[in-house]
Amino acid sequence: MRCMVLIKASPQSEAGEMPSEALLTAMGQFNQALFDAGVLVDGGGLKATSVAARVRMSDAGTQVEQGPFLPCNEQVAGYWLWQVASLDEAIEWARRCPLPMPDEATLEIRPLNEMEDFATASDEVREQEQQLAARLAEVAR
Domain ranges of the chain: 2-114
Please give the CATH superfamily to which domain 2-114 belongs. Dimeric alpha+beta barrel (3.30.70.1060)
- The three-state secondary structure class of 17 is coil
> For residue 84, what pLDDT is reported?
98
One pLDDT digit (tens) per residue for the chain, 141 residues: 999 999 999 999 999 999 999 999 999 999 999 999 999 999 999 999 999 999 999 999 999 999 999 888 789 999 999 999 999 999 999 999 998 887 889 999 999 998 787 878 888 888 888 888 888 888 877
CA dihedral 86, 87, 93, 96 (to 10 degrees): -150
> For residue 43, what pLDDT is reported?
97
